């Protein structure tokens, strides 16, 4: 079984609605916990979301600060050990992921908006990155502030359902 979602075949979601930009269906911002979950288990919705990113069905956005968080968290020994990646393998995964990232420049900063200061950069990148939703396993961290910026907060499983059943 493949541990790397960027080297595996994509899930067939039978998406039949129009693309927003080329083959891109939706632009989202992934919270770090989704990347960790997707890279540590090939069984869940987070892994499926990463496969959709790799197949250009979902575009992700990230600011420089958020990308640095992705890298630092994924390279923690205890996180890296879960899927058994070496530092070099993780660098390869991050390089592959970088190909699909829409870079976000922070033009506006609205701190504080959230209880957890560590989540502020996620909200700021989403608000500045013209994303449709923040995809996270910690929805309640964003539910009060995200609507102020016209953002949805959804889980990876909800993103998969949204793509399977467009409104």
Q: Quick one: pLDDT band at residue 56, thresholds 50, 70, 90?
A: confident
Query: What digits encode the pLDDT tens for the residues 65-77?
Result: 999 999 999 999 9
| Domains assigned to the chain | 27-164 (3.40.50.1010)
Q: What pTM does this model have? A: 0.82
Other CB atoms within a 10 A radius of the CB of residue 110 amount to 14
Rounded distance, CA 4 to CA 15, Å?
Answer: 23
What gap in Å lies between CA 104 and CA 56, rounded to an integer? Answer: 18
pLDDT of residue 25: 65
- The helix (run of H) or strand (run of E) holding residue 62 is strand 59-63
CB atoms within 10 A of CB 68: 12
**pLDDT per position as a tens digit, 9-51:** 333 333 333 444 444 468 999 999 999 999 999 999 999 999 9
**Does residue 98 carry a pLDDT above 60?**
yes
């Amino acid at each position: 079984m493949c541990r790397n979602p960027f080297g595996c075949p994509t899930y067939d979601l039978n998406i039949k609605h129009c693309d927003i930009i080329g083959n891109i269906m939706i632009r989202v911002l992934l919270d770090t916990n989704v990347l960790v979950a997707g890279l540590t288990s090939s069984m869940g919705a987070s892994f499926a979301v990463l496969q959709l990113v790799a197949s250009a069905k979902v575009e992700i956005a990230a600011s420089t600060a958020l990308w640095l968080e992705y890298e630092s968290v994924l390279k923690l020994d205890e996180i890296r050990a879960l899927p058994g990646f070496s530092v070099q393998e993780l660098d390869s995964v991050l390089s592959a992921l970088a190909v699909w990232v829409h870079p976000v420049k922070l033009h506006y900063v609205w701190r504080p908006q959230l209880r957890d200061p560590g989540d502020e950069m996620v909200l700021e990148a989403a608000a500045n990155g013209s994303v449709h939703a923040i995809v996270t396993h910690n929805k309640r961290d964003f539910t009060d502030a995200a609507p102020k910026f016209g953002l949805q907060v959804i889980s990876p499983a909800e993103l998969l359902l949204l793509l399977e059943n467009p409104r």
